[in-house]
């Protein structure tokens, strides 16, 4: 059975003493996670086995929290919609969901977390190399609510985050970050691409494709968080930021043995004004939550 990490209180603080004390007593372990299809006769051929490094009793970014296991289990069930995507995981911690996306065929995966503790980013790089996806995964600092040049350069098709709603003081920073990526349109075709077209007709077609790419910008944020007293405030904040959140009905395979399962909520957050612009991928995701 999977081990259980240090508890967080309602304000999201890990109850484990000072950072120096945690680092002094840290124990490095590697945890194995297996994703397969038990009902598929060829399941073994598609089995994915991941190794995730964590430091017990260290900074909580170096622990595989139950929410990340839950999120990874769900992503494996919609793997046909992961292939070819540019995935951005915020608050990646040990990176389990993002690393899995790389194995599921994502074109690129950005594993991001705060740079406050350099060990978190170093650990993400180590885990990427161990699982042989460092050619797909890029590790970089991303602080919620702050927009560095590296952050502004990101162009994701899919946003992920496990247990990012734990500190109520950071809720709006998380939502500001999501709002930026929701509003950002896909990069238009370059001027040179249009100027080098052989005819006006081709140039017009390229411009039309440009518009289609912008209209098809339907980025969603898939997340799992632990229900706490402070998450009640999320609904009001989401409306303020022009978003909605919908719960997704999903039950992970019992083999994952996820601690605190009953307190976890799988949700999809999307911008309200883009609800009418759903692609087939979004319909598949939202149908799991009982969409009419």
Q: What percent of the chain has pLDDT over 90?
A: 59
**What confidence score (pLDDT) does residue 205 get?**
56
Average pLDDT over residues 265-286: 60
Tens digit of pLDDT for each residue in 84-105? 999 999 999 999 999 999 999 9
The 10 Å Cβ neighbour count of residue 241 is 17
Q: Is the pLDDT of residue 72 over 50?
A: yes
Please state the pTM of the whole predicted model: 0.76
Residues 164-180 have a mean pLDDT of 95
Mean pLDDT of 193-221: 54
pLDDT of residue 185: 54
Render pLDDT for 5-39 as a digit per residue (tens, 0 to 9): 444 444 444 444 555 555 556 788 999 999 997 65
pLDDT at 19: 55
**Sign of the C-alpha dihedral computed for residues 150, 153, 156 and 159 taken in this order:** positive
What pLDDT sits at residue 61?
67
- pLDDT in the model for residue 56: 76
For the residues 149-155, what does the mean pLDDT come to?
Answer: 94
Pairwise CA distance, residues 221 & 116, whole Å: 24
- Note the pLDDT of residue 186: 47
Average of per-residue pLDDT across 117-140: 95
**pLDDT number for residue 272:** 87
pLDDT tens-digit series, residues 215-265: 445 799 999 999 998 888 898 999 999 999 999 999 999 889 899 999 999
Tokens of 71: 């999120």
Q: Quick check: 208 pLDDT over 70? A: no
Question: Which token pair is 289?
Answer: 């939550």
């Amino acid at each position: 059975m999977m081990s259980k990490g240090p508890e967080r209180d309602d304000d999201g603080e890990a109850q484990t003493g000072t950072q120096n004390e945690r680092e002094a007593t840290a124990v490095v372990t590697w945890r194995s996670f297996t994703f397969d299809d038990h009902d598929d006769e060829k399941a073994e051929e598609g089995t994915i086995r991941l190794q995730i490094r964590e430091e017990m009793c260290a900074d909580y970014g170096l622990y595989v929290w139950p929410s990340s296991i839950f999120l990874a289990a769900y992503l494996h069930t919609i793997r046909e919609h992961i292939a070819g995507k540019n995935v951005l995981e915020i608050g990646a911690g040990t990176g389990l969901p993002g690393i899995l996306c790389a194995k599921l065929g994502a074109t690129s995966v950005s594993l991001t977390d705060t740079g406050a503790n350099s060990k978190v980013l170093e650990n993400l790089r180590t885990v990427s190399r161990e699982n042989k996806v460092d050619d797909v995964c890029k590790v970089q600092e991303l602080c919620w609510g702050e927009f560095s040049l590296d952050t502004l350069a990101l162009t994701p098709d899919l946003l992920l985050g496990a247990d990012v709603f734990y500190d109520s003081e950071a809720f709006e920073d998380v939502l500001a970050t999501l709002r930026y990526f929701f509003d950002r349109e896909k990069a238009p075709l370059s001027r040179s691409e249009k100027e080098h077209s052989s005819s006006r007709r081709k140039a017009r077609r390229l411009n039309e494709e440009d518009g289609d790419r912008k209209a098809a910008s339907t980025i969603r944020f898939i997340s799992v968080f632990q229900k706490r007293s402070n998450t009640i405030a999320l609904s009001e904040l989401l409306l303020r930021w022009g978003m909605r959140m919908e719960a997704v009905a999903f039950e992970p395979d019992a083999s994952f043995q996820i601690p605190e399962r009953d307190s976890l909520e799988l949700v999809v957050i999307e911008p309200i004004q883009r609800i009418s612009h759903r692609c087939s991928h979004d319909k598949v995701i939202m149908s799991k939550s009982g969409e009419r």
